[in-house]
Structure 1
Amino acid sequence: MIELSNNNIKVCINKKGAELSSFYQKNSSLEYVWQADSEIWPWHAPNLFPIVGGLVDNELHVDGNAYSLPRHGFARHSDFILIESSTTHAIFSLRYNAETLTSYPYHFEFQLIYHLQDSTLTCTYKVINLESKIIWFSLGGHPAFNVPFFPDEKYEDYFLEFNEEEVLLRHHLSAAGYFNDETSSLTLDNRKLWLKSDLFQHDALVFKQLHSREISLRSKNHAHSLTISFLDFNSLGIWAKPDASFVCIEPWLGYADRENSKVSIQEKEGIISLLPGHVFEATYSITVE
């Protein structure tokens, strides 16, 4: 476990998946990251690569060949190497290997760069194409945050506040986790989406078009808050296990497959292409107040 710390915040990052496992505010003694109760949901903040969501039959199609790849990819299950660190900065690396090549036939390096400053943690995804050809991928974050912050509060005391006025169009997922043709509108209350136990009874809320690039988790009872900024990401998933005491705020670049649709990797919705030798970066940040 790697620890970053300053006067305000202490964070812990696991080498397995380069996963943020703790975000602790010192002056309030608040732990903001879900502590991965295995009976409910055994993750903290998994990193999604080289896909986001699920593939039909768990098959990735590349150059006419099918490769078995689990939901959200293999990065969250992989052991990363710490290649650089200080008290407030850490870089984790996952390079292609014999195991990754069996499910994703590209030579790559995937880095997670964490930097702590004041009360903000920035999380940067960096993909390096080590091939002599274009590679294709998706990536995203899946951080889970404790709700409520304090034991004497209720889940329903909390809301997500968008930084722009929104007419939210939700894209629905099937029971198997694939997109279907269903959409529905979600009405905000003065830019607020109030949390409630049945909000996620039909899986994640997925928004493919958003004006907002910042969402804050707040309570009606006090001024403590957590804000995710995701300027480099064009879509968002919001999810929790029904009746669980957390909410995931997930910046994405990429999507699950459509129902009954098997397409080659370069035809997947939201897929990113990267030229030989080139580098791709995308950053989101977490700030507490």
Structure 2
Amino acid sequence: MSVKLDNGSICVEVSEHGAELISVINKETGLEYMWQADPNFWGRHAPNLFPIVGRLRGDRYKYRDKTYFMTQHGFARDNEFNVVEQSDTTVRLRLTDSEETHAIYPFRFQFDVEYRLTSQDTLGIAYIVTNTDNHDIYFSVGGHPGFNVPLVEGEKFTDYYLNIEPRRHYERAKLMGPYLDNNLESSFDTRVPLRLRRDDYKDDAIILRLGGNPVSIVLARLNESHGITMHIQDAKYVGLWTQYVKEAPFVAIEPWWGIADTVDADGNIAHKYAINELSPAQTFTGSYSLTFF
């Protein structure tokens, strides 16, 4: 099942499976902005990552001397959410803990994903995590939206660029295999727009440390005739990713409140690098928005 939002200018479709954004269409031009999950390249549109982002060492972690197993990016993206609020321009979907989640994640929680058309061309996305347990919970959360590149038939992947503001040098986090290696950190200069080249992604995603500071990222054709702008409010990281070998026609821009295990992680979830800790009855909110043009 899916839910549609429509403000007269853009039509948005959200699947109840994973609370995943699966379509954004400009009603005047007919442009489809979201990647359409071609399984020959990548069979997802915009998965929501919870309660981890990235990979755990050995796909496992410990909590109170017990070992739990969880695969990359967590389980939310593969679960059914319930619609708890809906209007023509807003939908809020919810996932709560269950016997099935307790087997791999021993915490009680409420995870809401909200989509809201805030203007004629802008969609706001919020992740709201509530601790419904009687002790602290530990989690990461993030988005993984993929966008069609090129947007128009006849254009080329290399006709597009990424522009990141504020324009400055960012700390670039790097992975060794699927794990974070802080010894490999380097500087990444965004003072010049980044023309899309597949060679830039041969070592996986470009990951920038944001430290909770707001940034704006434009993905657009060189003449700026069409594209998207992502405004990230307070994320710890952003990942820029496309497939290298297969020449997939998409780019993902991924705001993360968390990251993969470090290469030397001890496996204790309370010690996990960049983990979020939430007290009982408290709520965490992370948000970003997408403007389509």
What's the TM-score once normalised by structure 2's chain length? Answer: 0.94
1:1-289 correspondence runs (5 A)? 1-117=2-118, 118-175=120-177, 177-180=178-181, 181-188=183-190, 190-209=191-210, 213-242=215-244, 243-289=247-293
In the TM superposition, structure 1's runs of 4+ consecutive aligned residues that sit over 6 Å from their partners are: none
For the Cα contact (< 8 Å) 2:214–2:234, is it kept in 1?
no
Any idea what the Cα deviations from partners look like across 1:219-254, whole Å, max 9, x if unmatched?
113421201111121211111111111111000110
The amino acid across from 1:66 in the alignment is T
**How many angstroms apart in 2 are the aligned matches of 1:139 and 1:47?**
8
Alpha-carbon distance, 1:103 to partner: 0.7
Alpha-carbon distance, 1:261 to partner: 2.5
The amino acid across from 2:166 in the alignment is E
**How many angstroms apart in 2 are the aligned matches of 1:23 and 1:153?**
20
Any idea what the Cα deviations from partners look like across 1:147-176, whole Å, max 9, x if unmatched?
11112111111111112122133222123x
The amino acid across from 1:106 in the alignment is F
Alpha-carbon distance, 1:208 to partner: 1.6
For the Cα contact (< 8 Å) 1:215–1:229, is it kept in 2?
yes
The amino acid across from 1:38 in the alignment is P
Deviating more after overlay: 179-188 vs 83-92: 179-188
For the Cα contact (< 8 Å) 1:166–1:212, is it kept in 2?
no
**How many angstroms apart in 2 are the aligned matches of 1:163 and 1:191?**
10
The count of corresponding residues between Structure 1 and Structure 2 is 287
Unaligned runs of 5+ in 2: none
SS at match of 2:80: coil
Change (3 A) 1:148 1:234: same
**How many angstroms apart in 2 are the aligned matches of 1:276 and 1:261?**
26
C-alpha RMSD over aligned residues:
1.4
Alpha-carbon distance, 1:4 to partner: 0.5
Alpha-carbon distance, 1:29 to partner: 1.0
SS at match of 2:201: coil
Percent identity (aligned): 37
**How many angstroms apart in 1 are the aligned matches of 2:189 and 2:289?**
26
For the Cα contact (< 8 Å) 1:167–1:186, is it kept in 2?
yes
Deviating more after overlay: 267-276 vs 10-19: 267-276
**How many angstroms apart in 1 are the aligned matches of 2:187 and 2:286?**
28
For the Cα contact (< 8 Å) 1:164–1:191, is it kept in 2?
no
Alpha-carbon distance, 1:75 to partner: 0.4
The amino acid across from 2:102 in the alignment is L
Deviating more after overlay: 236-245 vs 44-53: 236-245
**How many angstroms apart in 2 are the aligned matches of 1:262 and 1:241?**
30
